[in-house]
Amino acid sequence: MMNNVLLDIQNLSAGVTGKEIIKNFNLAIKEGEVHVIMGPNGAGKSTLSHVLTGKPGYEVTKGNISFKGKNLLEMSPEDRANEGLFLIMQYPVAIEGVSFMTFLKYALNAKRKYLGQTELSAPEFLKVIRDESIKLGISQEMLKRAVNVGFSGGEKKRMETLQMALLKPNLAILDEADSGLDIDALKIVASGINDLRDGKRALLIITHHQDLLEYIVPDFVHVFADGHIIKTGDKNLALELEAKGYTDFIKEAQC
C-alpha cells in the first residue's frame, strides 16, 4: 500500500523581514519516512523548522506548505502541534515556576481536547508519564523541577524526547537534536526516537554533522545550501558529505 504524503513544501521562500533565507524550497515527506537535511552552520536550516512550527518573526513570501492535506501556513502554532507536528528544539526554553509535570499535563490535555477526547484523570496521567519517563531514564525528581531550569544539554533533549513520546506526533522535526550531547545521551535520545518509529510516523532531521545518523538510519539525505536542496541521496550521501566537507561538496555539486 502506498503511504500518503504527510508534509508537502512547494516553492517556499521565507525568512526574517528584509532577508530571504529559504529560496524556492521543495520537499515532500511521506508517512513513515526519515528525511535528513544537512548543511553547514549558518545556512538557514533552522529557519525551515521555525517556519514549519509557526514561530513569530518569520515571514513566508512565496509558496505553500500542506500538512496532512491542510494548509499549514494558515494554522496557529498550537493547532500545528495538535494536528501532529512536533519540533525537538535546538535550545529548549527554560520556564521558571512551571514544573515539567504541570507543563506535560497541559500539553497532553490540550491535544486530547483538540481531538475531542476527555482529559486524563490524575492517576491515568501519572501512569502514562511514569511508563514513558522510565524508558528515557528520567527520574520523578526531574519531572518535579521547573521546565528546563538548570538542566544539562542531555537532560533537556531527553525531556524533549519525552514530550514527543507523550504527544505522539505524525511528523517530528529534530533541529540539531544532537548538539551538546555526549555519546550516552545521544544513544538515549536516538533510541527514544527509534521507539516511536512505527511505519507511519515520519521524521525530519536537521543537522550539520552525521553523528545522530549512526543511530537513526535515514531514507533520504538532502544537502541544503543557498536556501534550498541542492542534492538528494540515501544514507551514503551523509558519509560522502562528512568525508569531503561542506565547502568542497557544495562547490562540486554546483558545478
Partner 1 sequence: MLDLLKNITLENDNIPALASLRQKGKAAFKGLPTLKDEPYKYTNIQSVITPQMFSQKPHDCGHEHCTCHETCLDFAAHEFHFCGGRLHEHFHFIEGLEISSLKEALSTHEATPYIGKFDIEAFPLAALNTALLDEGLFIRISKPLDKPLALIYNNKEGVTANIRNLIVLEKGAKAEMIEIFEGTSTPYLTNIVSEISIAKGASLLHCKLQNEGQNAVHIAFSNVLVKSQGEYQSYLLSKGAKLSRCETRVLLKEENAKATVNVAYCVNDEQTADITTNIAHLSPFTASNQIIRGVMDDNAHGVFQGKIHIAPDAQKTEGHQQHKALLLSSNARVDVKPELEIFADDVKCSHGTTSGDLNAEELFYLKSRGIDEKEARKILTTAFLNTAFEEIENQNIKAFLENAL
Binding site for partner 1 (CB under 8 A): 53-56, 76-78, 80-82, 87, 89, 92-93, 95-98, 102-103, 106-107, 110-111, 114, 147, 163, 167
| Least distance (Å) between residue 54 CB and partner 1 | 8
| Least distance (Å) between residue 188 CB and partner 1 | 21
Nearer CB in complex with partner 1: 38/177: 177
| Least distance (Å) between residue 223 CB and partner 1 | 27
Q: How far apart are CA 66 and CA 86, in angstroms?
A: 15
Q: How many residues does the chain have?
A: 255
CB atoms within 10 A of CB 77: 13
| Least distance (Å) between residue 240 CB and partner 1 | 34
Contact at 8 Å (CB) between 211 and 186? Answer: yes
Burial letters 113-142, b for 16+ CB under 10 A, else e? eeeeeeebeeeebeebbeebbeebebeeeb
Nearer CB in complex with partner 1: 30/112: 112
Nearer CB in complex with partner 1: 164/250: 164
Residues 15, 10, 87, CA angle at the centre, nearest 5°? 60
Nearer CB in complex with partner 1: 173/186: 173
| Least distance (Å) between residue 131 CB and partner 1 | 19
Nearer CB in complex with partner 1: 7/87: 87
Query: Cell 544537512 belongs to which residue?
Result: 38
| Orientation of helix 122-135 relative to helix 153-167, angle to 10° | 130
